[in-house]
Amino acid sequence: MPAVHTLLLEEALQDSPQTRSLLSVFEEDAGTLTDYTNQLLQSMQRVYGAQSEMGLATEQLSRQLLEYEKQNFALGKGDEEVINTLQKFAETVGELNTLHSELATQMADRMIFPMIQFREKDLTEISTLREIFGIASDEHEAAMVKYSRLPKKKENEKVKAELVGEVAYSRRKQHQASMQYYCALNALQYRKRVAMLEPMLGYTQDTTHGCGPTINFYKKGIDLVSKKMDSFLGSVSSMTQNIQAQLDSEAEAMRMTQRELLSMEDTVYMPDRDPAPVNRTLIQKAGYLNIRNKTGLVTTAWDRLYFFTQGGNLMCQPRGAVAGGMVLDLDNSSVMAVECEDRRYCFQITSPNGKTSMILQAESKREYEEWICTLNNISRQIYLTDNPEAVAIRLNQTAIQAVTPITSFEKRGEGSPNPDRLENKEYMHKTSSAAEPEDLIVPGTPIQFDIMLPASEFQDQNRAGGRRTNPFGETDDDCSPESDDSLLQQVFAVRFLGSMAVRSGQSQEVIYEAMRQVLAARAIHNIFRTTESHLMVTSSCLRLIDPQTQVTRIGFQLQEVTQFVAHQENGRLMGFVVEGRDWSKEGEEGEPSFSAFVFESNTEGEKICYTISLGKDIMEAKKDPEALVQLLKNMPLTNEGKFLLLDSETGSTANGGAPDEESEA
């Protein structure tokens, strides 16, 4: 049996174009296998359909033969012999129908089902893992782009640490997804062989070794062929068993390799965290670099490509390309570190005649120094000597000098002030008091556009008496209808627009910024659909209710609502901030966390804010009986003893069917 090609799990982390190119071959093979499997399954289903139709036809024929006796023929006297003969035929055809039905059942179980299972399980798994791998790769690329844009002049250690963590997380995620994808593709090379042989083995066995009377269909030559067929089927069975044993062994080996690779330390996934020392004696190097390309007279763009050295040439291979192409002849070229466009770890390669130059950026300091040293070693044609490593060691001091960045500004004397730095300090001092969007909401914070879950799910939970935990971490135990205060119960028709995590809950500016980002994100992503709900405000909590089922979607304690405000220009927009606890941080009570929720109402948002403010007043007044009495005196009440507010826009309260409260302009 020919050898089976495999993808090496050890190359999943580097994700080189060579590995991607080999991966595309496996993906093309999987696509071809999918198309062929669908065609083969159609042919098998056609055979099964014909066999099933044969069983139905023989059953109908048997019934029709028995119906002859029941016919009232005018000239049918004396046909008892024909009737008896047809009954015997009907009995024979009935037995034949039983054989056909059993044969069709065996074909469905042993030929059709294994092929459908292979298509729905193995091929669908490959397709799903491919999508997951693509998403993980895109997330890693996006994280690397943000990390590569870290400024040097205004380096923020907190932002840098966050980006480093984001890159490490996305790189680990891509590594895990790629290894799972590689394992599935490797296993497919074995499974496809079994999948092709097993259904036909079942079909052949069912046809030639069916229950007793089936042999009558193939009586001629069955004695002559049976021994050869038994031997053939035995060899096919042994072949499938051997392939399955190889698959089990290969799967165990891949699991062990995957476990070893995933047990590595987190520094493997973090850029600029490589503990290994810099090797300045290399004469070959490969890896991803950012290259600067001019897009206009003064504008530039950076592209992340895979570079490698081959002899005395610098090669470049885009992701997905079959082979790389030469970028520059490195012989006698100059390589030095430069400061470029507020980016770190940049170096420049210049041809001997000075007409061709390019600026590249490495992802870490170690990669940055090794690339410069390696390219300098190659430019001096060390690779052509008898002992290139020894020569490279002698030139080590020159390589150390090459990694010292050369600034594009004029040299200043020691102790001379840097006017740019002074101006930056003055500007930062002037603007430190103004709140920037980054101070209110972390850049790149995800936005959730829908918190509505299917009503049937909540109904099932309510029937079962189980507790529901909403996706924001709050519980609605204290916001049940039974615990609502009877003094205040106002309902508003609202549409949820979005929610996101914010840094503070004590400023109205954070709500305005959340509104701006939510509306901008909806416009960018073409999200226009909203679901109408009922927002019930009581003196203890806020509840969002499904108008159809009257099921509470989400609830918040009123004391957790730290800020609420309506939009200054668009009065129908309102939002509030809820304080929660982040239990992932250290501490017994958890770190405080804040989330902003943005709604659009059918009326003025100020009415909702006024009602929330009144609920907070009632909640505070409950602590002091005299204050509560004074509040009841100052505010008019309805006949039911509730505070007199504006009419509910929904036409009914959250309890369903209760009449609207009286209104007062």
3-state secondary structure of 409: coil
Per-residue model confidence (pLDDT) at position 73? 77
Of the chain, the percentage scoring pLDDT greater than 70 comes to: 74
Confidence of residue 466 (pLDDT cuts 50, 70, 90): very low
The predicted pLDDT at position 456 comes to 40
pLDDT at 223 over 50: no
Give the pair of three-digit tokens for residue 100.
């056909």
Residues 6+ apart with CB under 8 A from 392: 280, 281, 282, 283, 377, 382
Residue range 447-453+486-582+590-634 in CATH 2.30.42.10 = no
Measured between alpha carbons, how far is 348 from 335 in angstroms, rounded to an integer? Answer: 6
85: which residues sit within 8 A by CB, 6+ positions away?
Answer: none
What's the chain's length in residues? Answer: 665
* Residue (of 91, 107, 88, 100) closest to 211 by Cα position: 100
Task: Identify which of 209, 204, 211 has the alpha carbon closest to the alpha carbon of residue 240.
Answer: 204
In this predicted structure, what is the pLDDT of residue 180?
Answer: 92
Q: Which residues pair with 508 in a beta bridge?
A: none
pLDDT in tens, 573-586: 899 999 987 666 55
Please give the structure tokens belonging to residue 121.
């399980």
pLDDT band, residue 300 (cuts 50/70/90): confident
- Range among 134-138, 204-208, 373-377 rated most confident: 134-138
pLDDT category of residue 360 using cuts at 50, 70 and 90:
very high
User: Average model confidence (pLDDT) for the chain?
Assistant: 76
Q: Residue 116: which of 186, 199, 35, 26 has the closest Cα?
A: 199
pLDDT tens by residue, 410-440: 333 333 333 333 333 333 333 334 566 677 8
In this prediction, residue 397 carries a pLDDT of 53
What class does CATH assign to 17-150+159-211? mainly alpha
- In tens, the pLDDT along 38-88 reads 999 999 899 889 988 988 998 899 899 888 888 877 776 656 777 877 888
Q: Looking up tokens 């609830």, which residue turns up?
A: 555
Q: Which of 343, 408, 347 is nearest to 374 (CA)?
A: 347
Domains of the chain: which residue ranges? 17-150+159-211, 286-398, 447-453+486-582+590-634
Collapse the DSSP code of 120 into the 3-class scheme (helix H, G, I; strand E, B; otherwise coil) and give the result: helix
Q: Which of 28, 94, 97, 93 is nearest to 56 (CA)?
A: 97
| Helix 17-66, helix 124-148: angle, nearest 10 | 150
Find, among 69, 82, 51, 33, the residue nearest to 187 by Cα.
33
CATH of domain 286-398: 2.30.29.30
What is the per-residue pLDDT across 558-572, written as a single tens digit (0 to 9) for each?
889 999 999 887 888
In the prediction, which pLDDT does 519 show?
A: 85
pLDDT computed for residue 243 by the predictor: 81
Q: Do the first three CATH levels of 286-398 and 447-453+486-582+590-634 match, i.e. the same topology? A: yes
Closest CA to 340 of 94, 159, 111, 151: 151
- As a whole number of angstroms, the distance between CA 614 and CA 619 comes to 9
Residue by residue, DSSP assigns 534-546 as EEEEESSEEEEE-
pLDDT of residue 395: 63
Pairwise pLDDT comparison (315 vs 489), residue with the higher score: 315
363 near 272, Cβ under 8 Å? yes
Tell me: pLDDT of 93 over 90.
Answer: no
**Cα distance between residue 147 and residue 3, in whole Å:** 43
State pLDDT tens for residues 496-535: 989 999 988 888 899 998 988 888 887 777 677 777 888 8
Mean pLDDT of 152-159: 81
pLDDT of amino acid 132: 94
Beta partners for residue 554, in sequence order: 544
Q: What pLDDT shows up at residue 648? A: 45
**Does the structure show a pLDDT above 60 at 664?**
no
pLDDT in tens, 588-644: 566 788 999 999 987 778 889 988 988 888 888 777 777 776 776 666 655 555 555
Q: Give exposure, 44-57, as e/b (b: 16+ Cβ within 10 Å).
A: bbeebeebbebbee
**pLDDT of amino acid 423:** 38
CB of 73 closer than 8 Å to CB of 79: yes
SS3 289: strand
Place of tokens 């600034």: 407
Out of 140-144, 277-281, 503-507, the most confident range is 140-144
First to last CA, the chain: 88
Using a 10 angstrom Cβ sphere, with 0-12 exposed, 13-18 middle and 19 or more buried, the burial of residue 659 is: exposed
Can you give 460-511 as a three-state secondary structure string? HHHHHCCCCECCCCCECHHHCHHHCCCCCEEEEEEEEEEEEEECCCCCCHHH
Question: Could you give the 3-state DSSP secondary structure of residue 284?
Answer: coil
